[in-house]
Amino acid sequence: MMIHSIRLKLTLLYALTVAVLLGVFIGADMVGLHRNLMEQVGVAAMSTEAMHETWLRAITEHISLALVLVVVVFVFGYVFIRRALQPVREITRTAKAISEKDLSLRVETSGDKAEIGELADTLNDMIARLENSFTRTRRFSADAAHELSTPLTILKGEIEVTLRHQREGEEYVHTLQRLLGQIERLTVIVDNLLFLSRADEHSLVGLEAEVSLDTLLLTVFENFQSMARQQEVSLGLGSVDSITVFGDQHLLHRMLNNIVGNAVKFTPSGGSVTLNLENRDGRFVLQVTDTGMGIPKEDLPHVFDRFLRVEKSRSKATGGAGLGLSIVREIADAHGLQINIDSEPGAGTRVVVTGQVS
């Protein structure tokens, strides 16, 4: 019959080890006793019959003592090993109580910093990561449902109102234009969600080609000139060095587009946005500085969270869903770039991206 309990296995191994040691010592003792008895028989100090009786009695006593010692060792070993493995049972009990609905439980280490304590700390770290992941997933799902429900509700309301009465052709055109705007918003949200889903699965496009980062930045600069003029924002260029990096041109363009787009959108009329790209000892430094509304200090650690809106009313007015900077972070991570944001409410924001020049 197979033994599955590690506690029983350790106890049996402990008892067997003790039994072997006892056997060796008892065997040695019996050999010495037998030699002494034979010497006494040789000098006629003991008869052969008396020697045999003494020999048998000694064997019986030694075997009885050995059996008693093995039983005692087994019992004490079982109790000792059971107590030693108590933390393992506590870990098992806690692990069984943890579910996806309650990841708040943690394994108690009881001050043990050896192997069991290390195992408990490792499990606690893993549970904490899982809890954070589940929390982010639930929040992401709720936010995604909310973002998608808003344009869908508007679409449903517009269609219902339009169908209540017969209208002129021009009214239908205006309604369809409004509906098209909401559909475009839905398309952007779904596209961003699909992108982030691919990023979570680490299935972004491979980083294979050399990309001219300065050319991409100039293209983005030209693309936002019209939007900047409409908002009466001054969009300018500072230093733009020739920079080549390894990466995906489409993704890097999207990253720059999101950074510059945010700066322009959230800078009020009369403000300015400045772009700089410099080569500093083999590393590039890209800076996008604006004189916009800024970001509160308490929100800075969360600016890359998905669906974060620093100013909800203004974000909705600009049509944002709070996914732009999340996408920027994913693209930067995929390219091994570092990104930092410095901001102060009312004093503007500076986004700094750094990386290795190819």
Fold match, 139-200 / 209-356: no
Query: How do the domains of the chain map onto residue ranges?
Result: 6-84, 139-200, 209-356
Average pLDDT for 130-158: 74
Q: Which two tokens stand for residue 51?
A: 């020697």
Mean pLDDT of 87-95: 76
Q: Would you place residue 244 in the very low, low, confident or very high pLDDT band (cuts 50, 70, 90)?
A: very high
CATH topology of domain 139-200: Helix Hairpins (1.10.287)
Mean pLDDT of 195-214: 71
What is the CATH number assigned to the segment(s) 209-356? Answer: 3.30.565.10
* pLDDT of 65: 76
Closest Cα partner for 290 from 204, 350, 242?
350
pLDDT at 67: 79
29 against 182, higher pLDDT: 182
Q: Who has greater pLDDT, 1 or 98?
A: 98
pTM of the predicted protein model: 0.56
More confident residue, 205 or 305: 305
Q: Which of 15-24, 207-216, 247-256 has the lowest mean pLDDT?
A: 15-24
**What pLDDT sits at residue 315?**
46
Mean pLDDT taken over the chain? 77
33: pLDDT strictly greater than 60: yes
Q: Which stretch, 26-35, 169-178, 188-197, 234-243, has highest mean pLDDT? A: 234-243
d(CA 23, CA 145): 74
For residues 268 and 236, what is the distance between their CA atoms, to the nearest angstrom? 15
The C-alpha atoms of residue 47 and residue 31 are separated, in whole angstroms, by: 19
Q: Report d(CA 309, CA 150) in Å as an integer.
A: 15
